[in-house]
Chains A and B, each alone.
Chain A
Amino acid sequence: MSKPLIGVVLGAILGAIDGLTAWFTPAARDQLGGIVIGSTLKGIIAGVAIGFFAKRFHSLPIGILFGLLVGALLAYLTALMQGGYYFEIILPGTMVGLIVGFATQKYGKTPATANS
């Protein structure tokens, strides 16, 4: 499995889980479908970006940092659109980015490098 693909899969799964937790908020249950789709898409976007970064740059600390930043940025934008709940959205979103950053650096096939 390539690194971008790992990023996409993991980002999608975590994004979907993220969206599903909206079920615990009765007021948001009506829009659960849209929330899950949106959240999953957010996860996929984050996963793609982080996965391609991992394909290019092989460094666990930098990969984690990048994931963290991407996750935090996307989560911030989501929180802006929501108009609130910044802490409850940004922190988990940052964590998703961290997990995807770690996984894409640790796992997945790296492209073969030419002999110098």
Chain B
Amino acid sequence: MKWLSDDKLNYLRTIVGNPDFSSTKYAFIKELARGGMGTVYLAEDRELNRLVAIKVLNTPEITEDLRNRMVREAQIIARLEHPGIVPVHDVGVLADGRVFYAMKFVRGSRLDEYATQNASVRDRLRKFQAVCDAVAFAHAHGVIHRDLKPQNIMIGSFGEVLVLDWGVAKILRNPVSSEADTLLLPVAETKNEKARLVVDTSHGTIIGTRDYMSPEQARGETNQLDERADVYSLGAVLYFLLTNRPPSEARPRSINPKVSKPAEAICLKAMSREIGSRYFGASELSTDIGRLLDAEPVSAYRESAIEKVSRWVSKNRFLVLLVLAYLLMRIFFVFTSRP
């Protein structure tokens, strides 16, 4: 038997580990990232001549449950048509039996990488608001993400924001609009009859990433979760953007004194351990961030009179300077024209 060198061994392990796209219209290019449930590969759609990201189940031996979860993830994302949610193009089964779904390939950097590029506070807040808008859209369609964190948010090369990895998303209820009702495909029309959307009813199963997980999620209270679990996670993401650190017990201003009081208040309200004290949903959080960006008063923070004036002056700096210049000039003329 021929000796297999280390290089040859690595090569064989790679080709055996790589997905077999031969029965699909995709051509394998390279591995992009490895996650808990699946590995993401870069591939080329040979029909449409474009790059796609393909997520394939990690495990070589698929159980019915894992396969259903993969297809379910794809179906959840596919029904969420929003510029901030990565679009799913295709779902299927590879020749080697593994489930895959193809989605838009996003060129760019993750939010945590983006933050290290010294993005300004305004830039970070704008990106964060875009994330909130995407999540709010999902909430409006009865879906909560449950694993929001900087690593699951991509900033594209044109500054577009995309929320990724809906692998542990939960469907709370039927979508809001009647149009969306038709997206729940009847059994006969699904690609895979056994992969209909199933509400996750696992009890006590902790799903998500600890640092960014709401307290109720960390306790495994899966059935009690609603949109406010995502609000907590968004608050934790905001914490990271304000401080460049994962969430902790410390207030954001104690880590970064440059954080404004209203920004800190928004963050802390979103991350309130009391569910009832948080924002109702991502859209309310997005609205407050918008007010913060427009130098308007935010709902999370009660300003003092001095802070109100200071904010108004800061917002209308040019006008205030003009008036001051006029008054100074007036005073100058008063004193110089005295006999």
Contacts and interface: CB of A to CB of B under 8 A. Distances in A.
Chain A in direct contact with chain B (Cβ < 8 angstroms): yes
Nearest to A18: B330
A108 interface: no
Interface residues of B, number: 15
B291 to A, nearest CB: 18
B33 interface: no
A6 B318 CA distance: 16
Interface stretch (B21-29, B214-222, B292-300, B331-339): B331-339
Contacts of A103: 319
Interface stretch (A46-54, A75-83, A90-98): A90-98
B16 interface: no
A100 B338 CA distance: 28
Nearest to B336: A88
A86 to B, nearest CB: 12
Name B's interface SS: helix
Nearest to B327: A17
Interface in A67-116: 85, 88, 91-92, 95-96, 98-99, 102-103, 106
A99 B337 contact: no
A99 B320 CA distance: 10
B329 A92 contact: yes
A92 B326 contact: yes
A92 B337 CA distance: 14
Given A98-B322, A102-B319, A106-B319, A17 B337 contact: no
A24 B337 CA distance: 10
B323 interface: yes
Contacts of B325: 95
Contacts of A106: 319
A7 to B, nearest CB: 13
A31 interface: no
Contacts of B319: 99, 102-103, 106
A88 B322 CA distance: 18
A92 B333 contact: yes
B329 A91 contact: yes
Interface in A9-52: 14, 17-18, 21, 24-25
B326 A24 contact: no
Contacts of A88: 333, 337
Contacts of B329: 91-92, 95
Interface of A: 14, 17-18, 21, 24-25, 85, 88, 91-92, 95-96, 98-99, 102-103, 106
Given A18-B330, A21-B331, A103-B319, 12 more contacts: A21-B330, A21-B333, A24-B334, A25-B337, A88-B333, A91-B329, A95-B329, A96-B326, A99-B322, A99-B323, A102-B319, A106-B319
25 contacts: A14-B326, A17-B327, A17-B330, A18-B330, A21-B333, A21-B334, A24-B334, A24-B335, A25-B334, A25-B337, A25-B338, A88-B337, A91-B329, A91-B333, A92-B326, A95-B322, A95-B329, A96-B326, A98-B322, A99-B319, A99-B322, A99-B326, A102-B319, A102-B322, A103-B319
